[in-house]
């Protein structure tokens, strides 16, 4: 029994500053995992995952959906937020209370009070999928933070500086981990390394990332 108890101890800090204005909250979403997954399934039944096209004509390896008042979209016309799902011609599904509550609590824990996201990007990574270094800069107001929730397979999160050439730090993210950044880090370049294969007991061979933003 003693060995089992010892192995259950997680040596990683629950609240880990990773840059000025950026905090990693280990396991912050675990208490809500069942409700989050149920809410996600309902959203995706209405707005299924799709692989969007970049303005340059590249098909993204990450499949995407959205919920909230607006959703992030990309096509030949550019990157933008839109209240209408281009695939269905209907508004994006509303943001469930369990998602909104998680985002608000995580932002507050990271030092960002009064966060009221109106968009939640839902990204699906399968083995081999990745997200290159980029800035989140399509929002109208950069005073609000970004809150990113990891579910499913573990991933390597890359968090850099204000320039693409800045060497990023690499952080292992596991199911239930949350990263929040704003202030001095709001426009930091960040990305996700190619996802390794595996099997998550609740979500299978995939990683789901929820990114909450105040778009308008």
Q: 12 among the known binding-site residues?
A: no
Assign 4 a pLDDT band (cuts: 50, 70, 90). Answer: very low
User: Where would I find the H helices in the chain?
Assistant: 2-8, 33-46, 97-109
Q: 10 among the known binding-site residues?
A: no
Overall pTM surpassing 0.75 (yes/no): yes
Q: 59 among the known binding-site residues?
A: no
Q: 216 among the known binding-site residues?
A: no
Q: 138 among the known binding-site residues?
A: yes
Q: 207 among the known binding-site residues?
A: yes
Q: 208 among the known binding-site residues?
A: yes
Q: 87 among the known binding-site residues?
A: no
Q: 213 among the known binding-site residues?
A: yes
pLDDT at 2: 42
Q: 72 among the known binding-site residues?
A: yes
Count of helix runs (H) and strand runs (E) in the chain: 3, 13
Tokens standing for residue 25: 């909250």
Q: 18 among the known binding-site residues?
A: no
Q: 75 among the known binding-site residues?
A: no
Write the Ramachandran bin of 111: left for phi over 0, alpha for psi from -120 to 50, otherwise beta: left
Percentage of the chain exceeding pLDDT 70: 94
Q: 166 among the known binding-site residues?
A: no
The model's pLDDT over 73-122, given as tens digits with 9 standing for 90+, comes to: 999 999 999 999 999 999 999 999 999 999 999 999 999 999 999 999 99
Assign 13 a pLDDT band (cuts: 50, 70, 90). Answer: confident
What is the Cα–Cα distance from 17 to 179, expressed in whole angstroms? 10
For residue 182, CA distances in Å to 15, 119, 141, 154 come to 16, 16, 11, 23
Q: What domains are there in the chain, each with its CATH number? A: 13-213 (2.60.120.590)
pLDDT beyond 50 at 137: yes
- Phi/psi of residue 8, nearest 5 degrees: -80, -15
109, with CB counted inside 10 A (0-12, 13-18, 19+), is: middle
pLDDT at 11: 57
Q: 190 among the known binding-site residues?
A: yes
SS3 22: strand
> What does the radius of gyration of the chain's CA atoms come to, in whole angstroms?
17
String of DSSP letters for 163-205: STTSPPEEEEE-TT-EEEE-GGGTT--EEEPPPPP--BTTTBS
Q: 123 among the known binding-site residues?
A: yes
pLDDT beyond 80 at 51: yes
pLDDT beyond 50 at 6: no
């Amino acid at each position: 029994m003693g060995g089992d108890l010892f192995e259950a101890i997680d040596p990683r800090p629950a609240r880990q500053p990773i840059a000025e204005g950026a905090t990693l909250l280990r396991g912050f979403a675990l208490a809500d995992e069942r409700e989050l997954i149920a809410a996600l399934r309902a959203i995706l039944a209405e707005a299924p995952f799709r692989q969007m096209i970049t303005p340059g004509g590249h098909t993204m390896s990450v499949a995407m959906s959205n919920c909230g008042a607006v959703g992030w979209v990309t096509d030949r016309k550019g990157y933008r937020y839109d209240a209408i799902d281009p695939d269905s011609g209907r508004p994006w599904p509303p943001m469930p209370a369990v998602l909104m509550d998680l985002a608000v609590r995580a932002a507050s824990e990271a030092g960002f009070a009064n966060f009221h996201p109106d968009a939640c990007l839902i990204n699906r990574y399968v083995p081999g999928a990745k997200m290159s270094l980029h800035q989140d800069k399509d929002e109208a107001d950069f005073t609000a933070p970004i809150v990113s929730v990891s579910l499913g397979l573990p991933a390597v999160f890359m968090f850099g500086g204000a320039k693409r050439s800045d060497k990023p730090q690499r952080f292992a993210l596991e199911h239930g981990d949350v990263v929040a950044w704003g202030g001095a880090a709001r426009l930091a370049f960040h990305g996700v390394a190619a996802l390794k294969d595996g099997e998550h007991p609740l979500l299978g061979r995939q990683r789901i990332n929820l990114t909450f933003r105040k778009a308008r």
